[in-house]
Amino acid sequence: MRKPYLNYCLLMSLLFACPGLMAQERIDVHTRDISMVFTVGASGRLYQSYLGTRLASNSAPADTVMEAYAQGGGSYLFEPAIRIVHADGNPSLDLRVDSWRVDSTTDNNIRVTCIVMKDPVYPVTVVLELKAYLRENVITSSVRISHAEKSPVRVTNFSSSMLHFHADSYWLTQWHGDWAREMHMEESRLTSGIKIIDSKLGTRADMYQTPVFLLSLDGESTEETGKVLAGTLGWSGSFQLLFEVDEKDRLSVLPGMNPYASDYVLDPGKTLKTPEFIFTYSDEGRGLASRNLHDWARSYGVLDGRGSRMTLLNNWESTQFAFNEQKLDTLFGETRRLGADMFLLDDGWFGNKYPRNNDHTSLGDWQENKVKLPHGIARLEKDAAEKGVKFGIWVEPEMVSPKSELYEKHPEWVLKLPNRAENYFRNQLVLDLVNPAVQDFVFRVVDDLLTQHSGIAYLKWDCNRMMTNAYSPYLGSRQSNLYIDYVTALYAVLERLRAKHPAVPMMLCSGGGGRTDYGALKYFTEFWPSDNTDAVERVYIQWGYSYFFPANTIACHITSWGKEPLKFRTDVAMMGRLGYDLDVSKMTDKELSFSQQALKDYRRLGATIGQGDLYRLLAPYGSDRAALMYVDKDKKKAVLFGYVLHPRYGSSWAPVQLQGLDAGKVYRVKEINKYPGTKAELVEDGRTFTGEYLMKAGLSVLGKKELTSMVVEITAE
Ligand code: GLA
């Protein structure tokens, strides 16, 4: 319901004129099942009064203790959400609600609440924007900061949101790692003081820490029980997730861009917009929180989230940089023989003065290498089309090799410190994307590829280094704007590209999972979770991402990295977007026919896996097995996965109780992905059961032997 905000302003000014009078205005942000309630105090200050399961609109709590967006420099004693140093040097901000409104959108499922706050003395405006996605029970929060002072102000803190909790205990689950060991899960109890999860890497920003968390209240949560907030920041740069438990054991959560080295110099009339903090709340455990985020992501967070995904054969693991036109022609044929939809040509196809034969040269010189590809990409498009497969290609357009024609021509286009030696990571440097000429260049690299080659059906956009020694020649004296402006510039380029090429699927890659966030995924259809494709490692890595990202966004390739049986590797890769990156010519007949059948089955079941509801049944952490399942929204089809990792000798497990089915329906269970010449391992294979039975008694989806797995198709009769 739209509030008459003119009347509201009038009322507030009358009340301010009568200081003894208590005026309290309540602002509700509801989804179908959750509520966030703000109260405007008599002084015009904004408080968060409630966050949790849905409240009736008339059950007004009027807690005016916790400031909803606390300002630094005044009397607030803890970590502020915002702090500004004004043009005259005054380091304080005093925000009062000026007005608020609910904006209508064309989508009935979204309600946007904008709370406009102003400083009574300094001409600063802060707009807190909350988007409630009713069906998905997701809320996003972001902030716009602007001013009309005579000269620039410095914004030193700029959280996307500030959330408050008062519970008996707080349990934080975080995911961290490094190259090839992404998404290690860790849970700890928050104690008095501050805990920060952050990145200062600028690009490839989530290589060590991922901008996601689960917060369990009043005790640890499980998949099906407990109060959980699941949150993630839509930002591809340095970020900070800050958790502060105060002297009264209240918790404040402050997610946002990292303020480290980033005092933002904001000109009058310009707006600093924070990224969105995306969150959901569940009082039925983690599983529901994930399903909420998945539903949101597929409809709103990811490009073409509701569309289907192509299976593919990639050549990185099998050829690295060593290929040519003939070899690729053979690989197109192998893609076809395997039955995958697309061939993805990886790194190594470009550079002539400095050919890209290893990772020391050529980034920036995006012309086909004449030795490897004498007839260019055009021939590859043609050859792929003749073999009946789609063609995709790798790029890393934000980067430059010191050994490249681009670097020779434009040394001023590179992020590097004056008076210091260049600092390389993977032998490369980051382009100064803040510079509009560089943005045009990056745009043109990708635009030319897509415009000149209508046969390019897919792009893999890589980013293989973080920022170090970061200094933008373009920004001059405003270096502290670099970390933020870089990401804003990246999004501006992606925005331009998507305006012109709205549909081409793109993989977000960053040396593995160094960029996995919903800020970028607006422009991408999927992401590369890790270069580590060992299937046991992938059970954990993919499991970790599944808390926040739906299966159709998680690219899972079968490779030769791990030495597990092909069946195990295949069953693990099938839990996400299935692909291959191995030498098909080395497959035995059995391996090939097994893989061909797996791809056929995936074609039938990909929609259930990618679009269905995920139930994590048995977690791999601290155990030797894992099981999960996806269930179609209409509960007519489900796919169940069971993995036995490295159990102790003689271990055996009880049947796994399924979830998410219709208790009253009758389902047939059928083991698929059986290796040629082997019989079904599933004792119940081929039989029918009620959903109730499957959810109460379960299925014996876990075998006894290590590195074995089962995939079971469950179909309502
Ligand atoms: C990164 C990616 C890999 C591959 C290489 C190519 O490491 O994560 O998948 O594309 O770059 O150089």
**Tens of pLDDT, residues 544-598:** 999 999 999 999 999 999 999 999 999 999 999 999 999 999 999 999 999 999 9
At residue 340, does pLDDT exceed 70?
Answer: yes
CA of 2 to the centre of ligand 1 (A): 50
Compute the mean pLDDT over every residue in the chain, rounded to the nearest whole number: 95
CA of 512 to the centre of ligand 1 (A): 7
Q: Give the ligand 1 atom nearest the CA of 460.
A: 10
At residue 687, does pLDDT exceed 70?
Answer: yes
pLDDT of residue 61: 62
| DSSP structure string for 289-322 | HHHHHHHHIIIIISTTTTS----EEE-HHHHTT-
Residue 12's pLDDT band (boundaries 50, 70, 90)? very low
**Residue 402 has which token pair?**
């010191």
Cβ neighbours, 10 Å, residue 108: 9
Closest CA to 557 of 604, 607, 598: 598
Q: Burial, 76: exposed, middle or buried (Cβ in 10 Å; 0-12, 13-18, 19+)?
A: middle
Dist CA 683 CA 87 (whole Å): 74
CA of 394 to the centre of ligand 1 (A): 9
Percentage above 90 pLDDT, the chain? 93
**CATH 2.70.98.60 occupies which residues in the chain?**
23-301
Dist CA 510 CA 491 (whole Å): 16
**Residue 578 has which token pair?**
């299935």
Dist CA 565 CA 551 (whole Å): 23
**CATH 2.60.40.1180 occupies which residues in the chain?**
614-716
Dist CA 439 CA 434 (whole Å): 7
Dist CA 590 CA 580 (whole Å): 16
What 3-state class would DSSP assign to 406? helix
pLDDT of residue 282: 98
CA of 716 to the centre of ligand 1 (A): 42
Dist CA 332 CA 584 (whole Å): 11
From atom 8 of ligand 1, which residue's Cα is the shortest distance away?
511
Strands 506-508 and 526-527 turn out to be parallel
**Residue 333 has which token pair?**
């044929």
Q: Give the ligand 1 atom nearest the CA of 512.
A: 8
Dist CA 191 CA 311 (whole Å): 46
What 3-state class would DSSP assign to 12? helix
What 3-state class would DSSP assign to 13? helix
From atom 11 of ligand 1, which residue's Cα is the shortest distance away?
511
Q: Give the ligand 1 atom nearest the CA of 394.
A: 10
pLDDT of residue 15: 40
State the residue for tokens 């920060």. Answer: 196
**Residue 120 has which token pair?**
């009574």
Residue 23's pLDDT band (boundaries 50, 70, 90)? low
At residue 10, does pLDDT exceed 70?
Answer: no
Mean pLDDT to the nearest integer, 317-329: 97
Model's pTM, two decimal places? Answer: 0.96
Q: Give the ligand 1 atom nearest the CA of 346.
A: 10
pLDDT, tens only, 86-140: 999 999 999 999 999 998 789 999 999 999 999 999 999 999 999 999 999 999 9
State the residue for tokens 């999960």. Answer: 628
CA of 556 to the centre of ligand 1 (A): 14
Mean pLDDT to the nearest integer, 218-246: 98
At residue 157, does pLDDT exceed 50?
Answer: yes
- Which CATH code is given to the segment(s) 614-716? 2.60.40.1180
CA of 320 to the centre of ligand 1 (A): 9
Higher pLDDT, 5 or 29: 29
**Residue 421 has which token pair?**
């030696």
From atom 2 of ligand 1, which residue's Cα is the shortest distance away?
511
pLDDT, tens only, 433-487: 999 999 999 999 999 999 999 999 999 999 999 999 999 999 999 999 999 999 9
CA of 362 to the centre of ligand 1 (A): 15
From atom 9 of ligand 1, which residue's Cα is the shortest distance away?
531
Dist CA 114 CA 102 (whole Å): 6
Starting at the edge strand found earlier in the chain, the sheet holding 82-85 runs 82-85, 153-158, 264-266
Closest CA to 517 of 281, 710, 331, 302: 302
Dist CA 555 CA 515 (whole Å): 13
Dist CA 140 CA 532 (whole Å): 32
Closest CA to 640 of 705, 684, 595, 584: 684
What is the number of residues in the chain? 717
pLDDT, tens only, 567-581: 999 999 999 999 999
**Residue 651 has which token pair?**
């271990």
Percentage above 70 pLDDT, the chain? 96
Dist CA 260 CA 233 (whole Å): 16
Q: Which residues line ligand 1 (CB under 6 A)?
A: 316, 346-347, 359, 394, 462, 464, 509, 511-512, 528, 531
Mean pLDDT to the nearest integer, 521-526: 98
From atom 7 of ligand 1, which residue's Cα is the shortest distance away?
511
- CATH fold of the domain at 23-301: Beta-galactosidase; Chain A, domain 5 (2.70.98)
